[in-house]
Amino acid sequence: MTIVERFLKYVSFDTQSADETGQTPSTDKQWDLARYLKQELEEIGLEEVELDEHGYLYATLPANVDGDIPTIGFIAHMDTSPDCSGANVRPRIVQNYDGTDLVLDAEAGIVTTTKKFPELLDHVGEDLIVTDGHTLLGADDKAGIAEIVQAMVYLKEHPEVKHGRIRVAFNPDEEIGLGAHKFDVEKFGCGWAYTMDGGELGELEFENFNAAAAQIRVTGVSVHPGYAKGKMINAARVAAEMAAMMPVEQTPECTTEYEGFYHLLDMQGGVEHASLTYIIRDHDRSKFEARKAYVTALGELMNQKYGQGVVAVELKDQYYNMREQVEPVMHIIDIATQAMRDLDITPRVRAIRGGTDGAQLSFQGLPCPNIFAGGLNFHGPHEFLPIPNLEKASQVVVRICELVAQR
């Protein structure tokens, strides 16, 4: 089976995760792909294949050379984003892409234009896998799964490529921030690992946001508006006032690269009760702490103005910048960049403007940078996957295994 055939098989499974179901995996349909992958890994000859009670799948490719070689791992997630349907995905291969707009559904008028998605033009002459415009594709992260599995097949079929013990793992619920929560790092037993979950060819990421969630609740006092002077506290208006005090230039739509932000996810309310939900992000830990302190201070300011207890601010840290954990073992980045250069891929070391399972795993004792999986425009119907990216990523996995053994 080719890597493209594997990928197309994987995207036929609807594995969309869901927030707040209180179970792991968050959706039962993720089990379908997990069980299929378990059988596939057994058939290709991997050992210690285990699907645990939480839907985490682990397997081992034994070393084919003696020596004190570190055990390394490769990880990808099975779920797709709740942001867009992943059911009944109908992929199509555009051969030798010519640089024009891609018509996904002519009847519905769904077109991926080069004006809106100029990254298409970086892949003229390549074969692309696209959607029919009504679902996401699922390259995030079924491309990563296909790349890892195909690499293991290659290593099994080419014993002349020497490697140490290799562990692979496929997990649920990355898209809702829970992919690493029940990952058994001790069982995985690796010195370090790589998530195959990045985007464009050459991407290598070992920095991500520090992240927190802020839940702000406002309790008002309802009085007949005709007699409300000096008595009413309009919770919705207080919430709007507080939202207006957040720095407008420090929002996702106004920031890029290493610039952090406050992002208003949800705003609800009436006179008696209102709420604001924010996420807070920054790569710099000190700036991250300052952002949280600012939100807390705003709440205190509102309480001084309207009365103690009117505004309650609850902050919850979500994850931290994995750079803190990777910097002491930078050789794992050096190996990945060398693997890319050996394959004529220019490494693009960049910071993730988001999170990754690898960040949480790094703080659990498993340093885990992120390598490109090759897809673009994730989480929506304009997602596409250049086939050369898919193939190159799998080759990077093989080369990393080889380089670790050589070192």
Residues with a known catalytic role: 79, 174
Helix crossing, 139-157 with 30-43: angle to 10°?
A: 10
Cβ atoms 56, 171 nearer than 8 A: yes
Residue 194 CA to residue 253 CA, distance in Å, equals: 30
- 3-state secondary structure at position 198: strand
Q: What are phi and psi of 128, to 5 degrees?
A: -120, 140
Q: Where are the alpha helices (DSSP H) in 44-174?
A: 139-157
Classify residue 221 by its DSSP letter.
Answer: B
Q: Do 211 and 389 contact (CB within 8 A), yes or no?
A: no
Q: Tell me the C-alpha to C-alpha distance, in Å, between residue 204 and each of 100, 163, 172, 197, 404.
A: 29, 22, 22, 10, 17
Name the residue among 40, 36, 16 with its Cα closest to residue 28. Answer: 16
How far is it, in rounded angstroms, from Cα 378 to Cα 323? 24
- Longest distance between any two alpha carbons in the chain, whole Å: 86
Report whether 57 contacts 145 (CB < 8 A): no
**Do residues 92 and 387 touch, judged by C-beta distance below 8 A?**
no
The rounded distance, in Å, linking the Cα atoms of 78 and 56 is 9
Q: State CA 346 to chain mean position distance.
A: 22
CB 133 within 8 A of CB 104: yes
How far apart, in whole angstroms, are the C-alpha atoms of residue 118 and residue 99?
10
45 φ, ψ (degrees, to nearest 5): 100, 15
Helix or strand (DSSP H, E) at 185: helix 185-188
Cα 325 to Cα 364: distance, rounded to the nearest angstrom: 10
